[in-house]
Structure 1
Amino acid sequence: MAAIISCHYLSSPATTKFSRSNAPSNRICYPIDLSKARSLGFRPRCSSQEPRRYPLQNKHKGKSFSLKECAISLALAVGLITGVPAFCWSANANAGPVLPDLSVLISGPPIKDPGALLRYALPIDNKAIREVQKPLEDITESLKVAGVKALDSTERNLKQASRALKQGKSLIVSGLAEAKKEHGVELLDKLEAGMDELQQIVKDRNRDGIAPKQKELLQYVGGVEEDMVDAFPYEVPEEYQSMPLLKGRATVDMKVKVKENPNLDECVFRIVLDGYNAPVTAGNFVDLVERHFYDGMEIQRADGFVVQTGDPEGPAEGFIDPSTEKTRTIPLEIMVEGQKSPFYGETLEELGLYKAQTRLPFNAFGTMAMARDEFEDNSASSQVFWLLKESELTPSNANILDGRYAVFGYVTENEDYLADLKVGDVIESIQVVSGLDNLVNPSYKIAG
């Protein structure tokens, strides 16, 4: 496995990050603090002015919102902030107000760690390993406590995880895929030994040594959980089966050269792509990576809301497949908790699944998703964006991105440095470091 390259960072300037949410196509909702957003330069979209390459924008020129719609959006924002139920009004004149379920919009505490999100997104059902995983993850919260109380809390977490491993080890082993069982058992042995080592770190009152060891243990847990997946768990719809598909996971390193930032020279972002929950979307991206499509391309948007790239030079806004000489587009692809396969071609709003929870949510800073025309669900091609979350303005589980844009991965290393990227910074390369064998129907192997 390739080593993870650290960012070459010279100093740590203060940066201001904020998020902006625009309305979905037929409901006018702003789940943010608009007064605070305005102080940071945000304005509601109540005019026909449209920025270029906005992943959430309406690309149909001349479209504008009415004063009534703007007032309604402000009412909803107040409702979300104060807790007083507000409403969304359908753009359809014949429709009435729709009361949102605020308990669904604002539920918590949500999982924000990309590694944890990826672990919980695996298609497995093994309670025993989850009972080991959870207390190990809770160590992160324990370390936020001041003084020796953090060590005491960490020790309790560790004892709980160790007890769960001892009591549930046979159930964990029985849940391993037969072909991966030997590797999974090896990881469990490393996990058990690592817990003993962490126990000694806590006993020695070495607070600084806890987080690195915790990360190592959770990597073992994640590896065990991946070894529980026997095969790709469902069939992709027939109309998409000939497309490049990622049937599993892949890891890529994206190296970015920074042009005009005295504090940041270059950085390598490690990204885990999840083909279990977005095989078409992730497969399309890996295929483009292997074509070196993104190599040498500039960052095209970096505004505190997202970092975005993928628009090639020329009139085309996506990848032109040389075998067809046409733009290759992919369907909107959303996996929902409780479902065995993704929904294709429609947003969850269009499907009427307002309370559904996406398997890959926009919870983590550096969530990676496909940009598309707001009113054309199946228009995504090559433009991708990474969300820069600021929870005060766009709380997790209280945004209008989930279920409308296809998430297919998370930045798991150096994600904080995404906020330092600027328009014009150059992607020197994106390389697959593992999981390429999970790509089927790779179009980059076709001559021409």
Structure 2
Amino acid sequence: MAAAIVSCHSQCCSSTLVSSRRLSPRIPTNYLSCLRTESPNAAVSPRRFGPRCSSGSNKKWQPGNQEKGGLSSLKECAISLALAVGLVAGDPSLSPSTGIAYAAAPALPDLAVLISGPPIKDPEALLRYALPINNKAIREVQKPLEDITDSLKVAGLKALDSVERNVRQASRALKQGKSLILAGLAESKKDHGVQLLEKLEAGMDELQQIVEDRNRDAVAPKQKELLQYVGGVEEDMVEGFPYEVPEEYRSMPLLKGRATVDMKVKVKDNPNLEECVFRIVLDGYNAPVTAGNFVDLVERHFYDGMEIQRADGFVVQTGDPEGPAEGFIDPSTEKPRTIPLEIMVDGEKEPVYGATLEELGLYKAQTKLPFNAFGTMAMARDEFEDNSASSQVFWLLKESELTPSNANILDGRYAVFGYVTENEDYLADLKVGDVIESMQVVSGLDNLANPSYKIAG
């Protein structure tokens, strides 16, 4: 298929077609030439991890400086991008002057949406808030614990004054809301939830002592541990699967809950990284068909030995098999298996299927799984076929003025179904040709319904 690429200039936009059969998020790979240089605080600092990633240096990744564009406003650049997204894929041998047909420019969301409150960018926080629960008491414990991250941005020991306020607020919320939290636990998971709450209470006291001892370095690891307890308690509030998948998709592999996948990548010709294991949490509560399809393919070892096929600083992508097919061919039917576009809108109880939010007129709707986090995982598809996704997946790397968190032009157009939660910053080091040695489901496989890999491996 043809992928549209746009370069923005001061007075006009020139468009070219690039031949490629891979399905891609149709955001032009060089569209950033339209944008202003990103602010310094947009830089992404790699986290420190254990031996799961071996590297040749302590290289820090930062987004490259973007060329300043000549367009006078973000709105003009957004219109240019909309024209690119609206290109009708044609014969890639045709020239721009003879082979491009333009669809009507899609309606753009109000650009005021791009200016919103501070977005949540932490993948694990996004997963916590995406759980289908409504328990204000546990959220009031969660929020100040998450705010510790911002408190630690202050230099030196002075940061601990803010951390101490965060800890006291969280401890007070836990004490005052404990009965409501206990009442919110699912009956079948109550014992486990109670155990986690006890660990949370003890850990809160330990964090308070860490702050009193002025041990700044110990704060973040303890914060992470406590938030894992919080997330566990919140998961223990979900009783079963909260809705019925539409009948036409009910027989497909469905992930009715969450699963965790480890993706081990062997890196070629990169002095900074030799191999890495990326941990991915898949959210079947909000994307059961999409996540279920992926888990089923992982269990078939579909991705094992496959190369990274796109790595351009905007996304990392893989999943295009050898041969003419653009997706997975089910050996039991000898036909391509495609899945519907699946989007969960914030505030709704079940996803919408087969249409983008733009097509539904929901221009300002927020998605439950937004493209906020570095390493957001989504399905690639044909831009003009909503239900054409199969096996090609991508991870978002770039955040810019046109793809800001909480108002991303990809939100509602592509199905997000998970986030990379460990070593996500190393995604930026991957190159085309790096090999996925293995993908393995390490937890949550029991949440997969209708696993077709058991029928025909």
**TM-score past 0.5 threshold:** yes
For 2:404, what is the secondary structure of its paired residue? coil
Residue 186 (structure 1) aligned with residue 186 (structure 2): no
Displacement of 1:148: 2.9
Quickly say closer, same or farther: Cα 1:177–1:194, change in 2 above 3 A. Answer: same
1:397-439 per-residue CA deviation (whole Å, 9 max, x = no partner) reads: 2321000000000000000000000000000000000000000
- 1:7 matched residue in structure 2: 53
- 1:316 matched residue in structure 2: 325
Counterpart-to-counterpart distance in 1, 2:90 and 2:408: 23
Comparing both chains, which one has the higher relative contact order based on Cα–Cα distances under 8 Å and sequence gaps of 6 or more? 1
Residue 304 (structure 1) aligned with residue 313 (structure 2): yes
Counterpart-to-counterpart distance in 2, 1:324 and 1:99: 40
- 2:376 matched residue in structure 1: 367
Aligned residues: 399
Residue 56 of structure 1 contacts residue 371 of structure 1 at CA under 8 Å; is this kept in 2? no
Quickly say closer, same or farther: Cα 1:114–1:306, change in 2 above 3 A. Answer: same
Displacement of 1:6: 1.9
Residue 92 (structure 1) aligned with residue 138 (structure 2): no
Map 1:131-210 onto structure 2 (within 5 A). Answer: 131-210=140-219
Displacement of 1:165: 0.1
Residue 234 of structure 1 contacts residue 341 of structure 1 at CA under 8 Å; is this kept in 2? yes
Residue 247 (structure 1) aligned with residue 256 (structure 2): yes
Letter of the structure 2 residue corresponding to residue 92 of structure 1: A
Quickly say closer, same or farther: Cα 1:244–1:57, change in 2 above 3 A. Answer: farther
Quickly say closer, same or farther: Cα 1:315–1:45, change in 2 above 3 A. Answer: farther
Match of 1:261 among 261, 265, 270: 270
- 2:3 matched residue in structure 1: none
Quickly say closer, same or farther: Cα 1:201–1:112, change in 2 above 3 A. Answer: same
Quickly say closer, same or farther: Cα 1:99–1:229, change in 2 above 3 A. Answer: closer
Letter of the structure 2 residue corresponding to residue 217 of structure 1: L
Displacement of 1:132: 0.1
- 1:61 matched residue in structure 2: 91
Match of 1:435 among 422, 430, 444: 444
Displacement of 1:18: 5.9
- 1:325 matched residue in structure 2: 334
Displacement of 1:283: 0.1
**RMSD of Structure 2 on Structure 1 (CA):** 2.9
For 1:199, what is the secondary structure of its paired residue? helix
Counterpart-to-counterpart distance in 2, 1:64 and 1:271: 41
Counterpart-to-counterpart distance in 2, 1:218 and 1:146: 23
Residue 401 (structure 1) aligned with residue 444 (structure 2): no
Counterpart-to-counterpart distance in 2, 1:233 and 1:422: 39
For 1:359, what is the secondary structure of its paired residue? coil
Quickly say closer, same or farther: Cα 1:113–1:99, change in 2 above 3 A. Answer: closer
- 1:82 matched residue in structure 2: none
Quickly say closer, same or farther: Cα 1:446–1:160, change in 2 above 3 A. Answer: same
Match of 1:281 among 261, 266, 290: 290
Counterpart-to-counterpart distance in 2, 1:212 and 1:174: 29
1:85-144 per-residue CA deviation (whole Å, 9 max, x = no partner) reads: xxxxx9539x9xx67423322212100000000000000000000000000000000000
Quickly say closer, same or farther: Cα 1:181–1:4, change in 2 above 3 A. Answer: farther
Gap runs ≥5 in structure 1:
21-31, 37-41, 70-89
Displacement of 1:203: 0.6
- 2:24 matched residue in structure 1: none
Match of 1:350 among 336, 343, 359: 359
Residue 56 of structure 2 contacts residue 272 of structure 2 at CA under 8 Å; is this kept in 1? yes
Residue 55 of structure 2 contacts residue 271 of structure 2 at CA under 8 Å; is this kept in 1? no
Q: Percent identity among equivalent residues?
A: 82
Counterpart-to-counterpart distance in 2, 1:65 and 1:334: 33
Displacement of 1:254: 0.2
Residue 373 of structure 1 contacts residue 379 of structure 1 at CA under 8 Å; is this kept in 2? yes
- 2:32 matched residue in structure 1: none
Counterpart-to-counterpart distance in 2, 1:389 and 1:155: 34
Residue 277 of structure 1 contacts residue 408 of structure 1 at CA under 8 Å; is this kept in 2? yes
Residue 308 of structure 1 contacts residue 383 of structure 1 at CA under 8 Å; is this kept in 2? yes
- 1:236 matched residue in structure 2: 245
Counterpart-to-counterpart distance in 2, 1:174 and 1:8: 45
More moved, 148-157 vs 220-229: 148-157
Quickly say closer, same or farther: Cα 1:291–1:335, change in 2 above 3 A. Answer: same
Counterpart-to-counterpart distance in 2, 1:18 and 1:240: 42
Counterpart-to-counterpart distance in 2, 1:418 and 1:233: 33
Residue 86 of structure 2 contacts residue 104 of structure 2 at CA under 8 Å; is this kept in 1? no
Quickly say closer, same or farther: Cα 1:326–1:100, change in 2 above 3 A. Answer: closer
For 1:148, what is the secondary structure of its paired residue? helix
Displacement of 1:146: 1.8
Q: TM-score, normalised by structure 2?
A: 0.82
- 1:76 matched residue in structure 2: none
- 1:120 matched residue in structure 2: 129
Letter of the structure 2 residue corresponding to residue 108 of structure 1: G
Quickly say closer, same or farther: Cα 1:430–1:230, change in 2 above 3 A. Answer: same
- 1:78 matched residue in structure 2: none
